[in-house]
Amino acid sequence: MDNLLIQALKEFPLIQPGDNLSSIILESCKHNKFILEDDDIIVIAQKVVSKSENRYKNLLEIKPSKQATNLALSLNRDPAFIQLILNESNEIISTDKNVIIVEHKLGFINMLALIVLIFQKIKI
Protein backbone atom coordinates (compact mmCIF):
# COMPACT_ATOMS: atom_id res chain seq x y z
CA MET A 1 0.00 0.00 0.00
CA ASP A 2 1.46 3.30 -1.02
CA ASN A 3 -1.52 5.62 -0.49
CA LEU A 4 -4.63 6.23 1.56
CA LEU A 5 -7.90 7.51 0.16
CA ILE A 6 -10.84 8.38 2.34
CA GLN A 7 -14.02 9.02 0.40
CA ALA A 8 -17.54 9.58 1.67
CA LEU A 9 -20.35 8.23 -0.46
CA LYS A 10 -22.51 11.12 -1.65
CA GLU A 11 -26.28 10.87 -1.45
CA PHE A 12 -26.08 7.85 0.86
CA PRO A 13 -29.69 7.03 1.79
CA LEU A 14 -31.11 7.16 5.30
CA ILE A 15 -31.03 3.66 6.73
CA GLN A 16 -34.23 2.07 7.97
CA PRO A 17 -34.76 -1.03 10.12
CA GLY A 18 -34.32 -4.17 8.04
CA ASP A 19 -32.29 -2.48 5.29
CA ASN A 20 -29.62 -4.65 3.66
CA LEU A 21 -26.47 -2.61 4.29
CA SER A 22 -24.30 -4.64 1.90
CA SER A 23 -26.64 -4.00 -1.03
CA ILE A 24 -27.09 -0.33 -0.16
CA ILE A 25 -23.33 0.23 0.14
CA LEU A 26 -22.62 -1.55 -3.16
CA GLU A 27 -25.36 0.41 -4.95
CA SER A 28 -24.06 3.65 -3.44
CA CYS A 29 -20.53 2.81 -4.62
CA LYS A 30 -21.87 2.27 -8.15
CA HIS A 31 -23.87 5.53 -8.01
CA ASN A 32 -20.71 7.38 -6.88
CA LYS A 33 -18.63 5.63 -9.57
CA PHE A 34 -16.41 4.27 -6.81
CA ILE A 35 -14.80 0.96 -7.73
CA LEU A 36 -14.02 -1.38 -4.84
CA GLU A 37 -10.76 -3.28 -5.17
CA ASP A 38 -9.21 -6.22 -3.34
CA ASP A 39 -8.02 -5.25 0.16
CA ASP A 40 -10.22 -2.10 0.29
CA ILE A 41 -11.61 -1.33 3.72
CA ILE A 42 -15.10 0.08 4.17
CA VAL A 43 -15.81 2.02 7.37
CA ILE A 44 -19.40 2.08 8.58
CA ALA A 45 -20.68 4.06 11.55
CA GLN A 46 -22.11 1.93 14.35
CA LYS A 47 -25.26 4.06 14.30
CA VAL A 48 -25.98 2.93 10.73
CA VAL A 49 -25.55 -0.73 11.67
CA SER A 50 -27.77 -0.34 14.75
CA LYS A 51 -30.50 1.33 12.71
CA SER A 52 -30.49 -1.44 10.09
CA GLU A 53 -30.71 -4.04 12.88
CA ASN A 54 -33.66 -2.19 14.44
CA ARG A 55 -31.85 -1.99 17.75
CA TYR A 56 -33.85 0.93 19.13
CA LYS A 57 -34.80 1.07 22.78
CA ASN A 58 -36.98 3.61 24.54
CA LEU A 59 -35.27 4.52 27.82
CA LEU A 60 -38.67 5.18 29.39
CA GLU A 61 -39.50 1.48 28.94
CA ILE A 62 -36.29 0.16 30.57
CA LYS A 63 -36.51 -0.97 34.19
CA PRO A 64 -33.08 -0.45 35.78
CA SER A 65 -31.74 -3.10 38.15
CA LYS A 66 -30.26 -2.23 41.52
CA GLN A 67 -26.78 -2.67 40.00
CA ALA A 68 -27.64 -0.21 37.20
CA THR A 69 -29.13 2.29 39.62
CA ASN A 70 -26.09 2.19 41.93
CA LEU A 71 -23.65 2.52 39.04
CA ALA A 72 -25.70 5.34 37.51
CA LEU A 73 -25.59 7.24 40.80
CA SER A 74 -21.82 6.92 41.06
CA LEU A 75 -21.34 8.02 37.41
CA ASN A 76 -24.11 10.64 37.31
CA ARG A 77 -25.79 8.83 34.40
CA ASP A 78 -29.33 7.74 33.57
CA PRO A 79 -30.03 4.37 35.25
CA ALA A 80 -31.95 3.12 32.19
CA PHE A 81 -28.97 3.92 29.95
CA ILE A 82 -26.66 2.05 32.35
CA GLN A 83 -29.07 -0.90 32.28
CA LEU A 84 -28.81 -1.04 28.47
CA ILE A 85 -25.03 -1.12 28.79
CA LEU A 86 -25.25 -3.94 31.33
CA ASN A 87 -27.65 -5.86 29.08
CA GLU A 88 -25.16 -5.75 26.19
CA SER A 89 -22.04 -6.54 28.23
CA ASN A 90 -20.31 -9.54 29.72
CA GLU A 91 -18.57 -7.31 32.27
CA ILE A 92 -17.69 -3.74 33.06
CA ILE A 93 -13.93 -3.41 32.88
CA SER A 94 -13.53 0.19 33.99
CA THR A 95 -15.43 3.35 34.86
CA ASP A 96 -12.38 5.53 35.48
CA LYS A 97 -12.80 9.20 34.57
CA ASN A 98 -16.53 8.53 33.99
CA VAL A 99 -15.75 6.51 30.83
CA ILE A 100 -17.48 3.14 30.80
CA ILE A 101 -15.31 0.42 29.24
CA VAL A 102 -16.93 -2.99 28.86
CA GLU A 103 -16.47 -6.39 27.34
CA HIS A 104 -19.37 -6.58 24.89
CA LYS A 105 -21.36 -9.83 24.57
CA LEU A 106 -19.51 -10.39 21.27
CA GLY A 107 -16.17 -10.26 23.10
CA PHE A 108 -15.10 -6.80 21.91
CA ILE A 109 -13.68 -4.34 24.40
CA ASN A 110 -15.30 -0.95 23.86
CA MET A 111 -16.97 2.08 25.38
CA LEU A 112 -20.64 2.03 26.33
CA ALA A 113 -21.23 -1.47 24.86
CA LEU A 114 -21.74 0.13 21.44
CA ILE A 115 -24.86 1.90 22.70
CA VAL A 116 -25.64 4.99 20.65
CA LEU A 117 -28.05 7.53 22.04
CA ILE A 118 -30.41 8.96 19.47
CA PHE A 119 -32.44 11.93 20.62
CA GLN A 120 -35.59 12.84 18.79
CA LYS A 121 -37.64 15.96 19.33
CA ILE A 122 -41.18 15.20 20.30
CA LYS A 123 -43.94 17.53 19.09
CA ILE A 124 -46.39 18.44 21.81
The tens digit of pLDDT for each residue in 78-96 reads 999 999 999 989 999 999 9
- Alpha-carbon gap, residue 58 to 66, rounded angstroms: 19
Residue burial 5-41, b: 16+ Cβ < 10 Å; e: rest:
eeeeeeeeeebeeebeeeebbeeebeeeeeeeeeeee
Cβ neighbours of residue 94 under 8 Å, at least 6 residues apart? 100, 101
The tens digit of pLDDT for each residue in 9-58 reads 999 999 999 999 999 999 999 999 998 888 889 998 878 888 898 877 88
Q: What does the pLDDT read at residue 68? A: 96
Q: What does the pLDDT read at residue 122? A: 43
* Residue 118 confidence (pLDDT) above 70: no
Q: What does the pLDDT read at residue 123? A: 44
* Residue 117 confidence (pLDDT) above 80: no
Pair 58, 81: CB distance under 8 Å:
no
62: burial class by Cβ within 10 Å (0-12, 13-18, 19+)? middle
- Candidate from 28-37, 59-68, 80-89, 114-123 with smallest mean pLDDT: 114-123
- Alpha-carbon gap, residue 63 to 119, rounded angstroms: 19
Domains defined for the chain, CATH in brackets: 1-56 (no CATH), 59-114 (3.90.1660.10)
Q: What does the pLDDT read at residue 114? A: 62
- The phi, psi pair for 22, rounded to 5°, reads -60, -50
